[in-house]
Structure 1
Amino acid sequence: MTALDYVVLAAYLTGTLSVGLYFARRNKTTTDMFTAGGGSPWWVTGLSSFMTMFSAGTFVIWGSIAYTHGIVAVAINMTYGIAALAAGFLVAGKWNALGVRTPAEYVELRFGRSALQLYTWTLIVFRIVTTAVALYALAVIVAAIMPLAESSPFRDATTGNISIVALIIVFGLVAVFYTLVGGLWAVLMTDVLQFIILNLSVLFIIVLTFLKIDDFGGLLASAPDGFFDLVSGGYTYFFLVGWCLSQFFMIGAEWAFVQRSLSVSSPVDARKANYLFGALYLVSPVLWLAPPLMFRLTHPGVDPEQAYILAGQWVLPAGAVGLMVAAMFSATASMISSQLNVFASVLTNDVYREFFNPSAKERTLVVAGRTFTGLLGLILVVLAIAVPQLGGAERVIISLSSLVAGPLMAPSIWGLLGRRIDGRAVWATALICLGLGVVVKFGLGYLNAVTGFLWLDDVHSWVSNNPQTADMLLGVVLPIIILSTAHSVSAGVAPGWERIGSCAESVLPTRQKSLKPIDTTPALVVAIALLICGSTLLLLIPFNQSAALPLGILGAIVIGIGFTTHFFIRRSAGEFHSRLSGQRNL
């Protein structure tokens, strides 16, 4: 990275912090802090949901699969889009119509307090650890391309680059700060900005890669066998279907995504947000996986996990590498901020207020929410720093989290759509799936050695050779079988179904049917961000004469989109005021 790259990265981080400070003034209540007062525009929520799926691991894992196996990586990621569309059609509107403050409140109403404890502490442990590992992965990736002078106090003497610990602290504290100060509004708006940065950097890499390739047809002909197949490398059609179902459970019931559905003003907006999320994921994988796909054709034989970063370094001019690093940070920061905000919400509303201070005023609860955000963020940063010392424990937790996600999320959706199951079905699903998962993933070899049963050796061999299929059976098929059985043997309506019905009915009178003022601030922030990004690309031209044409064209397009966005903001606001005046005259 050059000095110009550092300037671009520093400017981005400063802008992110500024957004958090700007939206701090909106956090007067816990509703503002944790659900954006129910006033988030549907398109902001949709873009935020899209970004919540990303992390630095996205570039490493999916970039590696794309580089190694080809188009199958695109096919797998498109299942996110199908899952998001299905979640929008089936559950997003129902979440918004419930009238609950948090997803944890729904769990308690529907399944009881014991289920709430199971969900809360299990998800907090697994999500904080997996997010910490993602932050560590981001620092490892970025540190590899950030050399520092010997005099720098942040230099790692072994590598000559910036210290991984220093990067974890800087990146972690930035994400924690804007989440703590700005609440969900800051999370949503920084996600939108991060969406812009991510796609801008990816488009730039694609354009410059195409310009650098002379014989594109010849490169396509040299692709490995099966590189353009929809399934390959152990990723079968059964895996794709199972992955789609597992992501439907995740998008439909993961607390960070449920929180997005609660942040908009109506069930219709909740569905529209998910439809936008899904539509983007049906298109975007082709774009952001194009760099490692093309890099495989031009540079076969490199480390697959480094494919994405190497593809960027190969074509990006000075200053644009900093933009790529900002994009990688933005992907992970979205994941961090989402988890911190949703779990701080649960700890504030469903633990602190429920058990320790039932009569707490909103001001006290906001302070508690910020305190929990800071504490969770501190734990996350410390865990990220400690990842190398965990001795593989973090890999075990991440492996287990894949087994927990389906068995916990599937009952939430089932309980939202069906009236029969109760808390016993939740516990049965979680314990059976987790127990069998631990045995299958970690105990088969030991049991085979102890008992000597030949059939155990066959099962162990099959699981080792088909890990993706085994995960789908344990995390998707088995929960559905258990819940179907529980639904069949249950008679009548579960008490929890009646409780959530009463909760939904109680909020109906409070939903205003009149026209509400249009909040133009989110769109204005987007317009300003586009103008700044476009101007930055133009300012990079004097330092990159060889890339002047693509920089100029892309910069002009981005600036044009920014001005167009600003124009429509003013026109929409004017049309609303005209309609409102007409309504008053009547």
Structure 2
Amino acid sequence: MNSTFSTYDLVVLGAYFAFMLLIGWVFRRAVSNTSDYFRGGGSMLWWMAGSSAFMTQFSAWTFTGAAAKAYEDGAIILALYFANGLGFLGNYLLTAAKFRQARVITAVEAIRRRFGKVNEQVFTWLQIPLGTIYAGIWLNALGLFFAAVFGFDVNTTIILTGSAVLLVSLFGGAWAVSASDFIQVVVLMLITIVAAVFTLGKLGGIDAFFETVPLTGKSNGLEIRSSIVYVWIIAIAVKQVVNVNNLLDSSRYLSARNTKEARKAALLATVLFFIGPVIWFIPPMAAATMIPDMSAVFPNLSKPDEVAYVAICLEILPVGMMGMLASGMFAATMSSMDSGLNRNAGIFVRNFYFSVCRPQADEKELMLAGKLTTITLGALIIVIALGLNQLKDMSLFDIMLQFGTLVAMPLIIPAMLAVFVKRSPDWAAWSAILLGLINSFAVKTLATEARLSAIIGGDLTSREMSDLILIIGVFSNLIVGVGWFFIATALSKHIPAKRESEVKAFFADVEQPVEEGDRDAGQDDPSLQVTLISRVALAYGGFMLIMALIPNPLTGRLAFIFCGGSLIVIALLLKRGARAFTLQSKVKAPTATSATQDQTSA
């Protein structure tokens, strides 16, 4: 087994970072105001907005903490990712259109329109710290992982990755973030397809996979207290659907060109979340059979199961391809971080600096404030990541799920109800958050192993304890948050006339589709974004084709040809689309001129 990076792998990884920085530099020309910087001017096409929505929903944790779950418990991990698919299906069917039609630059501006200025600040000063801590956890976990498995220096990994994310966001804003997300999703899907195919080849094919790999994982996870497992699946589905369909995450679709493009973006994310996991978790599930004792291979790791995905890839992938896998893992984390960084900078500038401190500020000042905020938050994320090294002794899977359940869920429940409940007092939102956080503290404090064991009747494993905490946290927060929100609505007999008028205006917008020609519809020439991305994709695809020259067996060379060729085909299709947009604009221009001349003559 090759346990270190070859020179070729390092070249591939270095080229990936260079191309990501190139995207930030190329897209700087597309930014002229805060709408461009924080939401791409609301001009992005569906495939760009959709790939960004998809990539922001997971990080390298998918290939570490979640891969460990697949290794230990088998196919049950698919429930988490299919739940994301259900959440995005809800976006496609209902909420993506409503979110885009909020007609704002940041999600918290939509919160202000719906719940007033007090809640604008409540959500601002909860979302920014939460988002920053999330990013710090992701970055720290990535650094620890690469340090343990490949011998990279953990601090150097954190600083270099954090700096790359910072520069991409700083140079090109939302345009560069979404463009890099598109390239990253293509690279990620290609390399995981290669890893899955090589894994199946090692086992002897698909039939051999089902014959030799236990779908319940190494621990027979579905057979241990199946009642807990099945309730956990339901809780995960509820949690993820709520998580994806709340107004605070409307930023996924605020960048879309119009309502139609927003819904198509949601559909793309839906399809990717139903297809992707089936491909991603073939290697770690196969590891349960191929490498039953992960600690024997990585004796120095405190959580060796978390490298199940990489352990298989070290066995099967050709020389140079591990660099691409590392690129994919960096991509998964960078996409979440850069979107969060850009989003949080936008919230600070638009919902605090402009709303509270400098309402008279012009676009030039706001752009400067946005860039300074991006630098500050980026540096803070790196500092947090460097200070979180104690995470190496904890389960990444449990950390992320419990943090999302007990800390983030109280915040997003009123944000979920925001576009469905039309008459409620402003205080219903912040009070529901407060009660939710109190409930989460009570769950974490009172739901002890002794109490839960007495209720269940028998000793609990650490895995079962973690599952029960999540189950109790999800359903209790849902009951407390939703229940109190409606109680507050029932208690409020009178809403101030000004706020009632503002809320009616908000819902009037939310119900009205954004179409081509509308004031808030994308105004930029779409051919520019297509042309720029196609050029980067073409260059990176060409680079991957050159990697086919690395001394490898034929199958290894074909893997690079498949990845590079696929990216080049996508680039050529994009260039063709750019030409179509140009032709359309030329056809429309004379018509508009003619109409103007007719009106003048009349």
TM-score (norm 2): 0.85
Q: CA deviation at 1:218?
A: 4.3
Structure 2 partner of 1:226: 216
Q: 2:276 & 2:264 partners in 1: Cα distance?
A: 18
Q: CA deviation at 1:364?
A: 0.6
CA contact (8 A) 1:419 1:494 kept: no
Q: Against the structure 1 CA distance between its residues 334 and 215, is the aligned structure 2 distance closer, same or farther, given a 3 Å change threshold?
A: closer
| Equivalent residue runs for 1:193-212 within 5 Å | 193-212=183-202
Structure 1 partner of 2:544: 537
Structure 2 partner of 1:263: 255
Structure 2 partner of 1:56: 60
Out of 545, 548, 555, the residue aligned to residue 557 of structure 2 is 548
**Residues 1:93 and 2:94 aligned together:** no
Tell me the secondary structure at the aligned position of residue 567 of structure 1. helix
**Residues 1:520 and 2:503 aligned together:** no
CA contact (8 A) 2:313 2:322 kept: yes
Q: 1:409 & 1:571 partners in 2: Cα distance?
A: 41
Structure 2 partner of 1:42: 46
Letter of the 1:290 partner, please give it.
I
Structure 2 partner of 1:480: 482
Structure 1 partner of 2:299: none
Structure 2 partner of 1:570: 579
Tell me the secondary structure at the aligned position of residue 422 of structure 2. coil
| Equivalent residue runs for 1:108-119 within 5 Å | 108-119=112-123
Q: Against the structure 1 CA distance between its residues 536 and 230, is the aligned structure 2 distance closer, same or farther, given a 3 Å change threshold?
A: farther
| Equivalent residue runs for 1:283-432 within 5 Å | 283-302=275-294, 303-388=304-389, 399-432=402-435
Tell me the secondary structure at the aligned position of residue 250 of structure 2. helix
Q: Against the structure 1 CA distance between its residues 439 and 254, is the aligned structure 2 distance closer, same or farther, given a 3 Å change threshold?
A: same
Letter of the 1:476 partner, please give it.
L
Q: CA deviation at 1:348?
A: 0.7
Q: Against the structure 1 CA distance between its residues 248 and 216, is the aligned structure 2 distance closer, same or farther, given a 3 Å change threshold?
A: closer
Q: Against the structure 1 CA distance between its residues 26 and 215, is the aligned structure 2 distance closer, same or farther, given a 3 Å change threshold?
A: closer
**Residues 1:466 and 2:459 aligned together:** no
Aligned identity (percent) is 25
**Residues 1:192 and 2:194 aligned together:** no
Structure 2 partner of 1:158: none
Q: CA deviation at 1:72?
A: 1.5
Q: 1:61 & 1:182 partners in 2: Cα distance?
A: 31
**Matched residues, number:** 565
Q: CA deviation at 1:441?
A: 1.0
Letter of the 2:580 partner, please give it.
R
Q: 2:231 & 2:501 partners in 1: Cα distance?
A: 37
CA contact (8 A) 1:9 1:323 kept: yes
Query: Which deviates more from structure 2 when the two are superposed, residues 518-527 or residues 390-399?
Result: 390-399
Q: Which runs of 5+ in 1 are unaligned?
A: 147-160, 449-453
CA contact (8 A) 2:168 2:177 kept: yes
Q: Which runs of 5+ in 2 are unaligned?
A: 295-303, 596-602
Q: 1:355 & 1:504 partners in 2: Cα distance?
A: 24
Q: Against the structure 1 CA distance between its residues 430 and 584, is the aligned structure 2 distance closer, same or farther, given a 3 Å change threshold?
A: same
Q: 1:51 & 1:517 partners in 2: Cα distance?
A: 24
Query: Which deviates more from structure 2 when the two are superposed, residues 498-507 or residues 321-330?
Result: 498-507
Tell me the secondary structure at the aligned position of residue 54 of structure 1. coil
Out of 37, 43, 55, the residue aligned to residue 33 of structure 1 is 37
Letter of the 1:318 partner, please give it.
V
Structure 2 partner of 1:252: 245
Q: 2:119 & 2:34 partners in 1: Cα distance?
A: 24
TM-score (norm 1): 0.87
Q: 1:418 & 1:517 partners in 2: Cα distance?
A: 34
Any idea what the Cα deviations from partners look like across 1:287-329, whole Å, max 9, x if unmatched? 1222212232322232321111112212122221111111111
Letter of the 1:63 partner, please give it.
A
Letter of the 1:351 partner, please give it.
F
Q: 2:158 & 2:388 partners in 1: Cα distance?
A: 11
Any idea what the Cα deviations from partners look like across 1:137-165, whole Å, max 9, x if unmatched? 1111222344xxxxxxxxxxxxxx33200
Q: CA RMSD in A?
A: 3.3
